[in-house]
């Protein structure tokens, strides 16, 4: 077919004398490409005349044909007409002696739009200890060694190369989990407004999952809490993620996800991003750029009181960025445990504290002498009534705001408002004298959080170990660290949706269930690509519902993998022979880059001594590079294609899931 197209191109271009020498034996390809770049009408018209060329190099939009310039240029580079090259004398620029660098794909000054879009994932619990960074355009590789279990394929995917990557995906392997265990999903429960009624745990690439949620949940998420890879420079970190990103790549990785996440937030919605000292400053600058209309507060949380030993310092803390709309009261009051409440006299003191300064603040408070509990509040006293501090009446005592010197003062709350703060009051008895104290069990959040309950070992690892057998997840967040972060934003919103697209061991879901003990109906959406979602995350959340007898549920499903499966098979290969065996399946079954020459690779490259002498990791990189990154998962629009083998049940549930968008 390529030869047929080549002959037809040669034929039609023969009618344009500008492109040929006098003998019409040599095509000036540099001039041709220059004219094509400027959409030369004569050349476009010539190409349109041939049916095969029209179908190959044009796309029809309504009644117009749009010329695919890049595809034509690529074809001409790959299928040069014999003896076809001369330098076009009137052009000025860099050449390699024969042609301009502008006209070749060998050298590219590339500023990528999407970088590190896709995570590699893993297929086994043991994972891998290798991280690949691959730049498709420059074809340069860098291998970094790590002890982490996840791979991030740092693929540079230019803006014009992103085709259907972010389209909604097909969804498979549906399950519902309740306190009684796993159940079949026959329908998706919804609220009256169409919002999904159940919690969600989703397995798949988090960026693509976010784009699949974008339309349905845009403007509905109250809080996004994430605990992303921290990117420390040391290989001795204890996190399950592969953290070996350089700063720029890591920031782009973060930006892609923050961008789409922002679109899901409600008008008063907030982001919380946990981070450590390695990226806190870089991330802070990026947050200011991405969220100019938001407040941005960096909170310090002491999460490891024993410290992580450094060369000069022992690190005991990490950070959390709180990002929320400017000019709004988003952060609620923090709870203060009873043992930490500072109590003071309800009776006023100092200037303007006497009875005559506010007559409606002088009244008795009635206390049961058996229980020492406040049982009632009396009426405002007449001006001519002058009681003692305490008046005992049988089983109860009346307490008045009179100090030990007998001076009649006033309570700090008027009679009409005191009942609202009854829960903040307590009775104090000193040498037989009853008095009333007030202590607020709430207050503003401080910028440094210190509490033993934030210890990630005591209230993170040990909690997960108690819920999940053979837990392999290292150093999960303290449940109460995440709980307090979430409570700060949604403590007063009992119907909030909380999203975490770095779900990890499921601490955020656990915290939401804990928070709902106040009678709330908050929902969580968790996204995680790693295989431990089925061995740790889901079992943990289900076990919490079982142990706490929580009458709730969550739905689990997966983004339907396609080229992602091919990547996993390449990664699992243990020899070049296995890679060669897989290649036949690879080009027949999966989507490969359009410029891959299958026969040439199979018959020549695989047989070359230089290729066979490469390490297995380097050979794998070349196989990874062949896959089309736009086809890592199955798009919703292709769900019925029998090639993908998606069951009718999964097709039906996928349709139900997305139909709410109407």
> Nearest Cα to 410, choosing from 461, 353, 451?
353
Question: 409, 439, 469 — which closes off a domain?
Answer: 439
Does residue 134 lie in a domain region? yes
Which two three-digit tokens encode residue 261? 């996440």
Question: 73, 103, 133 — which closes off a domain?
Answer: 103
Q: Where are the beta strands (DSSP E) in 136-240?
A: 140-145, 151-153, 156-157, 171-178, 181-183, 199-203, 221-226
Pairwise CA distance, residues 36 & 67, whole Å: 10
- Are 418 and 460 found together in one domain? no
Distance between alpha carbon 100 and the CA centroid of its chain, in Å? 43
Which two three-digit tokens encode residue 130? 């290798």
- Are 328 and 301 found together in one domain? yes
- Are 431 and 485 found together in one domain? no
- Are 246 and 356 found together in one domain? no
Does residue 270 lie in a domain region? yes
Pairwise CA distance, residues 204 & 470, whole Å: 23
Consecutive H or E run containing 115: strand 114-115
What pLDDT, on a 0 to 100 scale, did the predictor assign at position 76?
Answer: 81
- Are 278 and 349 found together in one domain? no
**Total count of residues recorded for the chain:** 662
List the domain range (segments joined by +) for residue 607: 114-162+563-631
Does residue 290 lie in a domain region? yes
- Are 119 and 45 found together in one domain? no
Pairwise CA distance, residues 636 & 214, whole Å: 14
- Are 396 and 489 found together in one domain? no
Pairwise CA distance, residues 74 & 112, whole Å: 20
Measure the CA dihedral 118/124/128/134, to 10°: -20
- Are 221 and 327 found together in one domain? yes
- Are 247 and 374 found together in one domain? no
Does residue 659 lie in a domain region? no
- 8 Å CB contact between 12 and 76: no
What are the respective helix, strand and coil percentages of the chain, to the nearest 5? Answer: 35, 25, 40
- 8 Å CB contact between 548 and 178: no
| pLDDT profile of the chain (662 residues), mean per 10 | 77 88 78 85 90 88 86 76 36 52 50 44 34 30 35 51 83 96 92 85 95 94 94 50 62 90 96 93 93 96 85 90 94 82 90 93 96 96 95 95 95 94 92 92 88 92 92 88 96 96 96 96 96 95 96 96 93 94 92 82 87 90 88 92 93 88 46
CATH code at position 272: 3.40.50.150
- Are 408 and 531 found together in one domain? no
- 8 Å CB contact between 497 and 222: yes
Contacts of 630 (CB under 8 A, 6+ apart): 161, 162, 163, 164, 165, 591
- Are 479 and 549 found together in one domain? yes
In total, how many domains does the chain have? 4
- Are 435 and 456 found together in one domain? no
Does residue 170 lie in a domain region? no
What pLDDT, on a 0 to 100 scale, did the predictor assign at position 24?
Answer: 75
Does residue 626 lie in a domain region? yes
Does residue 128 lie in a domain region? yes
Does residue 315 lie in a domain region? yes
Has this prediction a pTM greater than 0.85?
Answer: no
């Amino acid at each position: 077919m390529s030869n047929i197209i080549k002959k037809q191109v040669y034929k039609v271009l023969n009618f344009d004398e500008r492109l040929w020498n006098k003998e019409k034996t040599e095509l000036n390809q540099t001039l041709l490409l220059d004219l094509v770049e400027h959409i030369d009408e004569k050349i476009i018209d010539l190409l349109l005349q041939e049916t095969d060329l029209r179908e190959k190099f044009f796309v029809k939009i309504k009644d117009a044909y749009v010329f695919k310039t890049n595809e034509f240029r690529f074809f001409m580079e790959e299928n040069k007409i014999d003896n076809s090259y001369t330098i076009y004398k009137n052009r000025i620029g860099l050449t390699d002696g024969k042609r301009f660098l502008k006209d070749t794909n060998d050298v590219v000054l590339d500023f990528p739009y999407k970088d590190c879009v896709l995570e590699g994932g893993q297929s086994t619990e043991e994972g891998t200890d290798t991280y690949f960074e691959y730049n498709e355009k420059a074809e340069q590789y860098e291998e970094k060694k790590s002890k982490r279990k996840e791979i991030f394929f740092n693929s540079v995917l230019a803006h014009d190369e992103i085709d259907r990557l972010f389209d909604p995906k097909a969804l498979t392997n549906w399950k519902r989990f309740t306190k009684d265990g796993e159940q079949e999903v026959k329908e998706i429960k919804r609220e009256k407004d169409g919002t999904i009624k159940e919690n969600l745990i989703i397995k798949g690439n988090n960026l693509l999952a976010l784009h699949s949620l974008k339309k349905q949940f845009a403007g509905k998420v109250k809080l996004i809490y994430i605990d992303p890879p921290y990117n420390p420079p040391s290989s001795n970190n204890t996190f399950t993620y592969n953290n070996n990103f350089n700063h720029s790549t890591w920031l782009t990785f973060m930006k892609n996800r923050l961008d789409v996440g922002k679109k899901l937030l409600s008008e008063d919605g907030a982001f919380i991003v946990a981070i450590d000292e390695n990226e806190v400053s870089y991330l802070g600058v990026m947050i200011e750029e991405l969220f100019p209309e938001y407040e941005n507060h960096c909170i310090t949380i002491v999460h490891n009181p024993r410290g992580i030993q450094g060369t000069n310092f022992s690190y005991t803390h990490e950070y959390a960025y709180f990002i929320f709309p400017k000019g709004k009261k988003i952060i609620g009051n923090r709870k203060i445990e009873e043992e930490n409440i500072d109590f003071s006299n309800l009776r006023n003191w100092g200037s303007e504290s006497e009875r005559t300064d506010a007559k409606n603040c002088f009244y008795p408070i009635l206390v049961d002498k058996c229980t020492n509990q406040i049982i009632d509040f009396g009426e405002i006293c007449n001006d001519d009534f002058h009681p003692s501090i305490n008046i005992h009446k049988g089983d109860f005592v009346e307490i008045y705001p009179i100090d030990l010197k007998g001076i009649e003062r006033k309570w700090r709350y008027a009679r009409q408002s005191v009942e609202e703060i009854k829960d903040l009051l307590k009775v104090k008895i000193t040498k037989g004298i009853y008095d009333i104290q007030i202590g607020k069990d709430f207050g503003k959040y401080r910028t440094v959080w210190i509490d033993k309950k934030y210890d990630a070992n005591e209230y993170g690892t040990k909690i997960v170990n108690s819920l999940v057998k053979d837990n392999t997840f290292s150093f999960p967040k303290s449940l109460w660290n995440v709980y307090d972060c979430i409570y700060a934003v949604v403590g007063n919103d009992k119907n909030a949706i909380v999203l975490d697209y770095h779900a990890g061991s499921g601490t955020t879901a656990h915290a939401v269930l804990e928070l709902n003990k106040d009678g709330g109906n908050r929902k969580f959406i968790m996204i995680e690509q790693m295989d431990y979602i089925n061995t740790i995350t889901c079992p943990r959340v289900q076990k919490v519902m079982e142990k706490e007898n929580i009458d709730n549920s969550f739905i689990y499903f997966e983004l339907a993998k396609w080229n992602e499966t091919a990547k996993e098979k390449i990664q699992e290969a243990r020899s070049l022979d296995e890679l060669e065996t897989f290649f036949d399946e690879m080009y027949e079954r999966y989507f490969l880059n359009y410029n891959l020459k299958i026969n040439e690779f199979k018959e020549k490259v695989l047989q070359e001594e230089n290729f066979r002498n490469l390490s297995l990791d380097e050979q794998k990189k070349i196989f990874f590079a062949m896959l089309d990154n736009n086809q890592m998962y199955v798009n919703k629009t292709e769900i019925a294609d029998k090639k993908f083998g998606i069951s009718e049940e999964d097709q039906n549930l996928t349709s139900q899931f997305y139909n709410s968008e109407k």
